[in-house]
Structure 1
Amino acid sequence: MKPNASWQSGLGLLALRLFAAYEFFESGLEKWKGENWFADIHDQFPFPISLLPDSLNWQMAMFAELALPVLLVVGLAARLSALGLMIVTWVAWVSAHAGAGYNVCDNGYKMALIYLVVLFPILLQGAGGFSLDALLKKYVLKK
């Protein structure tokens, strides 16, 4: 590996983390300020999410979209945060966007796909060098 490849990778992962965090946090704020519309699509939720009440699903999605982006920004538990947001995205894709095709203008799944592609490297590689995860690994776990 080139000497500067580590910081380049870390910078790339930071950019992905910041983009994902902004997008999901914004969605969480919309849920916080808005009305629960999950009841309208509850019958389209995938199993086992469909077993939970729509109000609980609303609260869990809102919490995930507000808390996990904060963890992404600071780079703490980034893989777990990415996985959680990928699950939220998958549920949204299946229940709200899958039947509408690809186009964003038609409420299609394009943005859900983009979010999954952005989160995938974070899931596989972690937060990168510019993160609390890296600091913990370096100074606390001494690896």
Structure 2
Amino acid sequence: MLTQALTRPFTALDRAGHWGADLPLRLFLAWEFFESGLEKFNGSNWFADLQGSFPFPFDLLPAGLNWQLSMWAELICPLLLLLGLGTRLASAVLMVVTVVAIAAVHWPSEWSSLADLGRGYAITDQGYGNFKLPLIYLVALLPLLLKGAGRLSLDHWLRRQH
């Protein structure tokens, strides 16, 4: 009786969550990555300055190609997230872009202890890196990669058509 009284108020939330729990994540991530892609589209390539910091295999590619790959991934994949189309693939691509960005831009250039590394867990760079926000993006992309889009998605609609 007590369990039922405690769970009854959450029944509507359970139904709503079943339909669209992923939607806030998809909207948030689509906005953040698309905004970054637009900055690249409207800006000039600054990847040449940090080409040596890119992880393998991106360190072997020309900076211009890396710029194009990053820009188009950050323009196309957010649209896919928004529609819930190819959600797992779009999430995986954006995770790769984010890991490369962490390695090339956000990771501290030098650290000798976990305490030093911990100082890089910040939004602003005070000389210790600033990997907090990209790490948040990775964590937010993970459920979309693992579970895909929910029912409010083209992925779900297309699965039902087969």
TM-score (structure 2 length as normaliser): 0.81
Tell me the matched-pair count: 139
Quote the Cα distance in structure 2 between the aligned partners of 1:3 and 1:19.
23
Aligned-residue CA RMSD in angstroms?
Answer: 1.5
Residue 136 (structure 2) aligned to one of 72, 97, 114: 114
Contact 1:79 1:126 in 2 (8 A): yes
SS, match of residue 124 in structure 2: helix
Out of 27, 30, 36, the position equivalent to 1:27 is: 36
Once the two structures are superposed, residues 55-109 of structure 1 have per-residue CA deviations (whole angstroms, 9 ceiling, x without a partner) of 0000000000000000000000000000000000000001100116111111500
| 2:122 alignment counterpart | 103
SS in 2 for 1:57: helix
Q: Is 2:156 the partner of 1:134?
A: yes
Larger C-alpha radius of gyration, 1 or 2?
A: 2
Q: Which has the higher helix share?
A: 1
Superposed structure 1 runs of 4+ greater than 3 Å apart: 2-7
Gaps of 5+ in 2: 1-10, 110-119
State the TM-score, normalizing by the size of structure 1: 0.92
Q: Find the aligned partners of 1:9 and 1:122 in 2 and give their Cα distance.
A: 14
Alignment gaps of 5+ in structure 1 = none
- The one of the two structures with greater contact order (alpha-carbon pairs below 8 A, sep at least 6) is 1
Q: Whole-Å Cα distance in 1 between the matches of residues 18 and 91 of structure 2?
A: 17
